Amino acid sequence: MIELTRRPRRNRQSAAIRDMVAETTLSTKDLIFPMFLTEGNQIQQPISSMPQISRWSIDLLLKEIEQCLNLGIRTFAPFPNVEDKYKDKYATESHNPDGLYPKAIREIKKFFPEACLITDVAMDPYSADGHDGIVENGEILNDATLEILGKMALTQAEAGADIVAPSDMMDGRVGYLRKVLDAKGYTHVGIMAYTAKYASSFYGPFRDALNSAPKFGDKKTYQMNPANAKEALLEAQLDAAEGADFLMVKPALPYLDIIKLLADNFPLPIAAYNVSGEYAMIKAAAQNGWIDGERAMVESLTSIKRAGAKVILTYFAKEFAQWLKK
Ligand code: PBG
C-alpha cells in the first residue's frame, strides 16, 4: 500500500456520500419548458426532429401545462406556429390582440394563474421573410424593427405575460421595451434578454416546428459569431444597463464558457437555452442505442447549471420532472 494522505475517491464511495458532496443539484424549479402552439382544436402534431415534442392547440396545451404543473414545472415559454396566411413583411399579426398567441396567454393565465409565462418577442414566427427584423433590400432594419417589437411586447403584457423575452438580437431593444412597458403601466412585467444569442446551426428543429426558417440568407448580421466571447460581455453590459431582469446565453452546451463568463461578471440571474438541436442530438443518438438518453439528459442539464446558469430553458423539462419522480 502506498502512502497517500489525499484520496479523493473516499468522497465517491457511496451514493450517500456522493450526493452529500454534490456541488450542483437540479430541481424542477430551475427549468423553463418551451412549448409549441398551433391553431385548431384537439390538435397534437408531433415534430419529427424533436421526439416527444409536439405542437398543441390551445385546449391540449392547457392539458399539457396542467400535467407539467403537477410535476413541479411552473414556468413555460410558449412559441406560436403561425399560419402562412397571417405572415407579412411587418409581422402585423404579432400585435393582433385576438391572434393565436395572446389568446393562448389569456387562456393559460385564466386556468393557471400560478404558472409563470415567458413570451417570445421576435418577428420571425410572423415574418413572411422568416427574419427577426424588417427586411429592406436584403438588409435587416434595426430601429424600425424596435417599434414592432414594442407593440408585440405590449400585446403580450396585456394578455398576461409575466416576462417578455426578446429573442431578436436588435440593438437597443431591451431599453426600448422597458420604456414602452413602463409607459403603459407594465412595470411589473420582467424582461429576459436573449443576451448572447449565437448564429447557430442548432436551431434547425425549432425552425421546423415553427416553419420559421429565413427565406433567404442567414441571421449573421444580428445573431453573434460563435467565435466571440468578449462580445458577449458587451451585449451583457448593454442589456443589464437597459434594464434586463435575466441575461440569457443560447445555445447552452457549446457555450458553457459564455454562461460562466456572464455568471462571474453580472449580478443578474443567468438563463441558458438548451436549444432544439441539442435536444435532437441526444434523442437521435439514444434512439439508435448509441448513448443512454436519460443519463445524457441529466448530465447535460447538470453541466449547464454547474457552468453558472440559474435557469435552463429545455425541451427535456417534462421528461426530467418525470425522471425525478421515479
Ligand atoms: C427566433 C428564435 C429561434 C429560437 C428561439 N427563438 C431560432 C432562430 O433564431 O432562428 C431557437 C430555439 C431552439 O432552437 O430551440 N427568434
Q: Whose CA is nearest to atom 6 of ligand 1?
A: 167
Structure letter (DSSP) for residue 218: -
> Measuring CA to CA, which residue among 315, 272, 271 is closest to residue 297?
315
Please indicate whether residue 207, judged by its CB atom, sits closer than 6 Å to ligand 1. Answer: yes
Write the pLDDT tens digit of every residue in 154-174: 999 999 999 999 999 999 999
Give percent above pLDDT 70 in the chain.
100
Average pLDDT estimate for 45-60: 98
With a CB cutoff of 8 Å and minimum separation 6, the contacts of 289 are none
Is 272 within a domain? Answer: yes
User: Which ligand 1 atom lies nearest to the CA of residue 214?
Assistant: 10
Provide the domain count of the chain. Answer: 1
DSSP 164: E
pLDDT of residue 118: 98
- At 244, is the pLDDT very low, low, confident or very high (cuts 50, 70, 90)? very high
Quote the pLDDT of residue 316. Answer: 98
Q: Tell me which of 89-93, 160-164, 212-216 is least confident.
A: 212-216
Residue 60's pLDDT band (boundaries 50, 70, 90)? very high
Which pLDDT score is estimated for 34? 98
Q: Check residue 58 and give its pLDDT.
A: 98
Q: CB 92: neighbour CB atoms within 10 A?
A: 14
In a domain, 1, yes or no: no
Catalytically annotated residue among 87, 151, 197, 219: 197
pLDDT at 12: 98
Considering the entire predicted model, what is its pTM?
Answer: 0.97
Residue 248 Cα distances to 154, 218, 232, angstroms: 21, 21, 10
Q: Residue 19: inside a domain, yes or no?
A: no
For residue 44, tell me if it sits in a domain: yes
Closest residue (by CA) to atom 10 of ligand 1? 203
pLDDT digits (tens, 9 = 90+) for 62-73: 999 999 999 999
Residue-wise pLDDT for 290-309, tens only, equals 999 999 999 999 999 999 99
Tell me if 53 is assigned to some domain. yes
Give pLDDT, residue 252: 98
Select which of 87, 151, 219, 250 is catalytic. 250
**Among residues of the chain, what percentage have pLDDT more than 90?**
99
Asked if residue 2 belongs to a domain, the reply is no
Q: 183: domain range?
A: 25-325
Backbone angles phi, psi at 213, to 5 degrees: -65, 145
Q: Residue 5 is which amino acid? A: T
Rounded to an integer, what distance in angstroms lies between the CA atom of residue 293 and that of residue 107? 34
* pLDDT value at residue 76: 98
Alpha-carbon distances of 222 from 96, 149, 203, 217, 242, rounded to whole Å: 26, 15, 15, 12, 18
209 part of a folded domain: yes
Residue 101 CA to residue 111 CA, distance in Å, equals 16
C-alpha cell at 233: 460581455
Q: Sorting pLDDT into bands at 50, 70 and 90, what band is 84?
A: very high
Per-residue pLDDT tens for 220-229?
999 999 999 9
- CB 193 within 8 Å of CB 257: no
Nearest CA, atom 3, ligand 1: 203
Residue 103 one-letter amino acid: K
Mean pLDDT rounded to a whole number for the chain: 97
Class of residue 6 by CB neighbours under 10 A (exposed 0-12, middle 13-18, buried 19+): exposed
87 is catalytic: no
From the list 39, 68, 66, 69, the residue with the least C-alpha distance to 55 is: 39
pLDDT at 294 (0 to 100): 98
pLDDT tier, 242 (very low <50, low <70, confident <90, very high otherwise): very high
Q: What is the pLDDT of residue 164?
A: 98
15, part of any domain: no
Which atom of ligand 1 lies at the shortest distance from residue 167's CA?
16
State residue 105's pLDDT score. 98
Q: What is the band of 153 on the pLDDT scale with cuts at 50, 70, 90?
A: very high
220 DSSP assignment: T
Atom of ligand 1 nearest to the CA of 315: 15
Q: Give mean pLDDT, residues 134-152.
A: 97
CATH number for the domain harbouring residue 274: 3.20.20.70
CB atoms within 10 A of CB 122: 27
Taking the C-alpha atoms of residue 117 and residue 132, their distance in angstroms, rounded to an integer, is 21
pLDDT digit string, tens, across residues 268-288: 999 999 999 999 999 999 999
